[in-house]
Structure 1
Amino acid sequence: MVRLLNTWRVKRGLPTWGVGPLLPEKYWQSSCSLISDPVIREQQGGSNLSEQEVIQWLDTKPRGSVRYVAFGSEVRPSADEHKQLADALEDWSRPFIWVVQHDKDHRPDPGLRKRGGNRGLIIYGWAPQLMILSHESTGGFLSHCGWNSTMEAIGRGVPVLAWPIRGDQYYNAKLVVNYLKVGYRVADDLSEMVKRDDIVKGLERLMGDEEMRDRMVGIKSIFDNATPDAAFDSFSDFVNQKLEPV
């Protein structure tokens, strides 16, 4: 983006400012690294776990060890793929949080919670996503790549395993995987059913790529200094200079 803005300045010969990412004002005002979701957004619907319970669970896990799995409130994998995901998380030996929307056709095998033990946390309904992504134990995000989720993952420095399902999610996934290079696609061919082995391999690949993780840290640092206020202040200074009497 910085390169694009510089190119625009050179070709047009005009000053240019980027005003994104456009996240709620309270996001930028948060004074601590762990962002509480109720500060940013209202809780949507119910949940089987409170934010504090999720924090307490995350606090017991090693730094960067947890994979967060969530598809937002409007899209989700097919019922068959949902079963593949449940099998993958059961087979995977590392900690995970899985957010499942209230839908009888997509609820995981009730035995998964028992078999996963303390290794897995399943949240039904609303989840405190920003808090989870900003917790030091969270090291990866299996996401549908909705725009808000994509920006929140980048803003909190969490690599993404992209599983786009419709619309702009495919372009957001391309941004993450091809351009920023801070994630992978869950499968090479998303026109076919995503299978258990694809998911497990993707999660392991995401966890093992230290070079990508370092790249994400660098991008996060740029993100941290890219508040809309900085761009607006720069624009205001430019205008005021032009308005000063010669």
Structure 2
Amino acid sequence: MGSLTNGNTNLQTSPRNDEISVIMVPFPAQGHLNQMLQLSCHISSYGIPVHYAGSAVFNRQARLRVNALNPTDVDKINFQDLSSPSFASPPPVPDPSKKFPGHLQPAWDAAMSMAEPLGDFMRSLALKYRRVVIIHDPLIASLVKDVATIPNAESYAFVCISAYCQVKFLLEMMGRTCPIPRLRELPPIATTISDDLFYFIGLQDEGMSLRSGDIINTCRSIEGPFLEILESKEVAGDLKSWAIGPLIPATAKSESRHEIFKWLDKQAARSVIFATFGTTTTLTKQEVEVIAEGLERSGQKFIWVVREADKANVFEGEARRVELPAGFEERIGERGVVVRGWAPQPEILAHPSTGGFMSHCGWNSCNESMKMGVPIAAWPMHSDQPTNAVLVTEVLRVGLPVRKWGAETGEVVTVEMVEDAVRRLIASDEGGEVRKRAEELAAVLRGATEEGGASRLEMDSFIAHITRRDD
């Protein structure tokens, strides 16, 4: 994957990739939109036409928030706006007892109506191409059910979470005992999401049963044992799978340089902690105060992205301004920077002055941090994040916990916990060891996604599979 513009020369010319067309069907949430667009660019680099199909609102969001991808690669993607009903877009509610962004559910429910226009689009392409390949998010699988009625179409699920988390999720859904003791100790996935989403996931079973295989945004070099479980006969049956990640480019690119880099350029190497909690986390007033005081007490340099969680429609109305403690920015002075709004996360993580990442541990953020060799201070909030945090801190050992996840899920993060995590990660021997492992892991991941690497070979294998001739 490396440079998308090079692709794989042999596969671009033989077999004839212009006989194949790919439709990407993302789940309408930022972390999923982003990964699906990354995969779109990789597939397009093999000379295959790629159509990114979703509602106009979320196609616009995906294009607006292109992170680290080359704009010329994105320009090659055909964005197909599917008709979709309007949906409610209430503001997020900062509820400390349930971090899951249930306010996004109206958008997900509305997306279910796109099955008919997507089916029409699939059939129109099936008349023009020898084979139409549909790659969909598992959370939106029901939209592609018409694949069963199109002889020259086939579908694949694109798994946007870690293999470690996928093992836990699938085995719980199957009612099977997980063979990994640590995963058995963690609370069930159902407790980290809303009841509405749990029900919504159940609606995707029919679409998932039609797929011909799975693509997973992870690397066999680091998640091999967990991929073996997912690929076992008992779990996968006869389905094929390909581990092709991490999809994020090793060298982050941007059309324009954000103002934050003027400050970062002046800082010492690996001296800054970058704190941000993703697009779906709404911090309470108390949590904002805890983070502010913890960063202030730590004495370390920092960048803190302070923004409200996304509404379902990010273009509708103004986001709530998060209030910081009185005098905080004045007291911090030049030691820290507060960013309000969208920040170029991959580029910040790739900067040599960035030495740590306080993160919610969404899989996008984990992949970006690991590929850039930046250790993580893990503060998971909901969904797959708690399981990813355990993978990062306990299995791969490239991070330290701000809060541990387990029986003590109700544990409240204190000022002292934030201060301690920042100091340990940036300014201690323990943090130095974690950083060394993170840098070693980054070298493995970069090698895996370069020519001849494990993930690149699996991407080549997937492209060879979908461009095959069955006659």
Shift of the alpha carbon at 1:58? 0.3
Cα deviation, 1:45-100, whole Å, max 9, x if unaligned, reads: xxxxx843211100110000000000112103322111111111122211100001
User: In the alignment, what sits opposite 1:233?
Assistant: 460
User: In the alignment, what sits opposite 2:253?
Assistant: 36
In the alignment, is residue 179 of structure 1 matched against residue 404 of structure 2?
no
Structure 2: how far apart are the matches of 1:171 and 1:5? Answer: 13
Kept after mapping to 1: 8 A contact 2:246/2:371: no
Cα deviation, 1:137-186, whole Å, max 9, x if unaligned, reads: 00000011111111111111110001111111111111111111111110
Cα distance change of structure 1 residues 160 and 233 upon mapping to structure 2, 3 Å threshold: same
Alignment counterpart, residue 200 of structure 1, candidates 400, 407, 419: 419
Cα distance change of structure 1 residues 18 and 194 upon mapping to structure 2, 3 Å threshold: same
Letter in 2 for 1:83: E
Letter in 2 for 1:218: E
Alignment counterpart, residue 81 of structure 1, candidates 269, 272, 287: 287
Structure 1 unaligned segments of length 5 or more: list them.
39-49
User: In the alignment, what sits opposite 1:163?
Assistant: 379
Cα distance change of structure 1 residues 105 and 126 upon mapping to structure 2, 3 Å threshold: closer
Kept after mapping to 1: 8 A contact 2:295/2:422: no
Kept after mapping to 1: 8 A contact 2:273/2:356: yes
Cα deviation, 1:187-225, whole Å, max 9, x if unaligned, reads: 244522211000010111112222211111111011102
Structure 2: how far apart are the matches of 1:71 and 1:145? Answer: 8
Alignment counterpart, residue 22 of structure 1, candidates 247, 253, 262: 247
Deviates more, 1:94-103 or 1:136-145: 94-103
Kept after mapping to 2: 8 A contact 1:142/1:163: yes
Structure 1: how far apart are the matches of 2:257 and 2:464? Answer: 41
Kept after mapping to 1: 8 A contact 2:303/2:337: yes
Structure 1: how far apart are the matches of 2:417 and 2:401? Answer: 10
Structure with bigger RCO (C-alpha 8 Å, 6+ apart)? 1
- 3-state secondary structure, aligned to 1:61: coil
Cα distance change of structure 1 residues 239 and 93 upon mapping to structure 2, 3 Å threshold: closer
User: In the alignment, what sits opposite 1:42?
Assistant: none
Letter in 2 for 1:204: R
- 3-state secondary structure, aligned to 1:226: helix
Letter in 2 for 1:77: L
- Structural mapping, 1:59-78, within 5 Å: 59-78=265-284
User: In the alignment, what sits opposite 1:222?
Assistant: 444
Alignment counterpart, residue 330 of structure 2, candidates 97, 109, 114: 114
Cα distance change of structure 1 residues 144 and 37 upon mapping to structure 2, 3 Å threshold: farther
Aligned pairs, number: 222
User: In the alignment, what sits opposite 1:46?
Assistant: none
Structure 2 unaligned segments of length 5 or more: list them.
1-219, 234-239, 309-318, 450-454
Shift of the alpha carbon at 1:37? 4.1
Structure 2: how far apart are the matches of 1:204 and 1:194? Answer: 16
User: In the alignment, what sits opposite 2:225?
Assistant: 4
Kept after mapping to 1: 8 A contact 2:300/2:423: no
User: In the alignment, what sits opposite 1:212?
Assistant: 434
Shift of the alpha carbon at 1:36? 3.2
- 3-state secondary structure, aligned to 1:125: coil
